[in-house]
Structures are given as structure tokens and as C-alpha cells.
Amino acid sequence: MKRWFLLAALVATTASAHHGWSEYNADKPLTLAGTIEESGYMQPHGFVRLKTADKTWLVVLAPPSRMENRGLPKENLAVGGQATVVGYAHRSKADELRAERITIKDKTTELR
């Protein structure tokens, strides 16, 4: 009984940490280019804070295993590096974008 309860609690915690993609406006793709100010290569999704000409965006990336499998290692998300992302803005968070692809050093990685 204890194991079942622990498993149920773990699944509930993991599910609540993962957000739905319906929160992003897939009807209006954006392309952003800028400098990486911060990055994270963690579950459930990696991220970069991308400083563009007009503001800093939180760019939600793919899970680390997918990025690694597609040729985007953690080292490529170095602070100070240049990146271009194509993705969708969050419907209610004006500075958040879900990336479909990211280009760093002339190499484009599909994230979805």
C-alpha cells in the first residue's frame, strides 16, 4: 500500500510540473534572435533566457535527452552565445516562448 501511494504521489508531482502546450499561441510563430543570458539543461524542459533587442525572453526548450539525441549538448547553450529561436509565445506570459527549433553557430536543432 505504501508503494502504491508513493508512486501515485510521484506521478501527480511530475504531471503538475509539466505544462500543456495549449497555453502557447501556435497560430503566430515568432523568430527571435539574441544573446543567451542564462540556460538550464534540466527536466522536464531545458530553457534559455534570450536577450533580444527589445526584451529578455524565457525560451522553453525540449527535454535534455531529446536535445542531446538531436545534437544540442549543454555546452552549446553557453551564456554569452548567440541564438535564434522559432516558436510560439505564451498566451498569458508576455515574455515566454516555446521553441520549435533553435539555431546556434549555424546549426539548427529541431526540438519538437
- Is the pLDDT confidence value at 4 over 50? no
- The residues near 2 (Cβ < 8 Å, ≥ 6 apart) are none
Please give the full DSSP string across the chain, using - where no structure is assigned: -HHHHHHHHHHHHHHHHSPPGGGEEEEEEEEEEEEEEEEE--SS--EEEEE-SS-EEEEE---HHHHHHTT--GGGG-TT-EEEEEEEEESS-TTEEEEEEEEETTEEEE--
CATH number of the domain within which 60 lies: 2.40.50.140
Span 23-40, average pLDDT: 96
Residue among 77, 12, 9 at smallest CA distance from 40: 77
**Residue 103: inside a domain, yes or no?**
yes
**Residue 1: inside a domain, yes or no?**
no
**Residue 14: inside a domain, yes or no?**
no
- Count of structural domains, the chain: 1
| Domain that includes residue 62, residue range | 21-110
The string of pLDDT tens digits covering residues 64-90 is 999 999 999 999 999 999 999 999 999
**Residue 3: inside a domain, yes or no?**
no
What's the CA gap between 54 and 99, in Å, rounded?
Answer: 18
- Is the pLDDT confidence value at 17 over 70? no
What's the CA gap between 20 and 49, in Å, rounded?
Answer: 20
Specify the pLDDT at position 22.
86
